[in-house]
Amino acid sequence: MIYLGMTLREADASRAPPMTESTMKSHLRAGFVLSLIAIAALGATACGARTSTSVTPPEYVALGDSFTAGVGIKPQATRFVPDGCRQSLLNYPHLVARELAFLVFADASCGAARITDLNGSQPTNDGTNAPQFDRLSDETLYVSMSIGGNDAGYGDVVDTCLRNTDPDATPCVDKFVTSTGNQLIANAEALEPELARAIDRIRMRSSRAKIAVVGYPRMLPPGGRGCGRNVGVSRADATVVNGWLAAINSALRGAADSQGATYVDLYEASEGHDACKPRDERWIEPGSGTDGADSFHPNEAGQQAAARAVARTLEMLSGPSGDSGASSPTGTTR
């Protein structure tokens, strides 16, 4: 586990940007922390495990792949995950932990992670990441999880669909869409039972945890409109990619709903901030001309936007009426 004071010193020394949501400034630090401690105390009293004078500080654990890890965004975390995970100190889990002043925090996210890496070790090109679930404990009260893109063929989608130099060609349609169906959609739909099992395993390790299942942000505009030379995609292929990403998010939402977790929808929130937008508007970096993050991954602005949505959700779940079984299109419960 990371004690947040140490993480804050690292992040502050690395120009961690301030959160911009004014509503998260006046009450989150004091009120949220007090509510976390109160919940921990109530849970301990109910379980008879400890007295109120020996409450363990609330824990937040983040699980995920490269979209969570913030690959390509400097500075990189080096103390608690292998260098091969390429985890950033400015990714959304670090920003959430910093903004909500979690007293104990662990970020297990790792680039290229798949669902099986939650429960098993993940070799990288520079070290091995321990099973992400190993960061969970009986004391973990809050968990965020975003994973499944690599299982659904993310790398193949980028290489086949988003690096096309001929605007009239449709390599994505040609490879994945046949008379028998759309292979990408089938891959995405197959994720839901695996994701549901992953949530169930989180509960087995951390029975009191409130779980936020975080969706993926929009990568392309509808029909690929406005995509130029930095994003090589035809309109037909862009439609396939958007349908694939929507299907992944549907699987994440379905798993969250079926297991009593809360879904955080970044897809709708990221409309108008896709990889085809100008540098000062996009939350996802394009295939070329990237600025501070890997291509087709969230940049610093995208990580900050995700942090705002996840922080709002965790704040809601910390209240006495918090219900971890509700889904939300913007990170708050309706």
Residue 185: give its domain's CATH number: 3.40.50.1110
The whole-number pLDDT of residue 75 equals 97
In a domain, 290, yes or no: yes
Structure tokens at 47: 């379980």
* pLDDT score of 23: 40
Nearest to 146, CA basis, from 65, 267, 206, 204: 65
Q: Enumerate residue ranges in the chain where pLDDT < 50.
A: 3-31, 33-34, 37-54, 321-334
Q: Is residue 329 part of a domain?
A: no
pLDDT at site 228: 80
Tell me whether residue 327 is in a domain: no
CB 24 within 8 A of CB 99: yes
Do the domain assignments include residue 330?
no
Least Cα distance to 151 among 106, 107, 118, 200 occurs for 118
For residue 326, being part of any structural domain is answered with: no
Structural domain count, the chain: 1
- What gap in Å lies between CA 6 and CA 318, rounded to an integer? 24
| Paired tokens of 91 | 């990714």
- pLDDT value of residue 297: 97
Cα–Cα distances in Å, from 34 out to 31, 47, 278, 312? 5, 20, 41, 16
Domain span including residue 231: 2-318
Distances (CA, A) of 89 to 57, 73, 219, 301: 22, 8, 23, 14
Half-sphere exposure of 67 (CA within 13 A, CB side): 24
pLDDT of residue 80: 93
Q: Does 325 map to a domain? A: no
Backbone dihedral region for residue 202 (phi beyond 0: left; psi -120 to 50: alpha; all else: beta): alpha
Q: Is residue 334 part of a domain?
A: no
The span from the CA of 33 to the CA of 16, in Å, is 21
Residue 333 domain flag:
no
CA–chain centroid gap for 140, Å, is 18
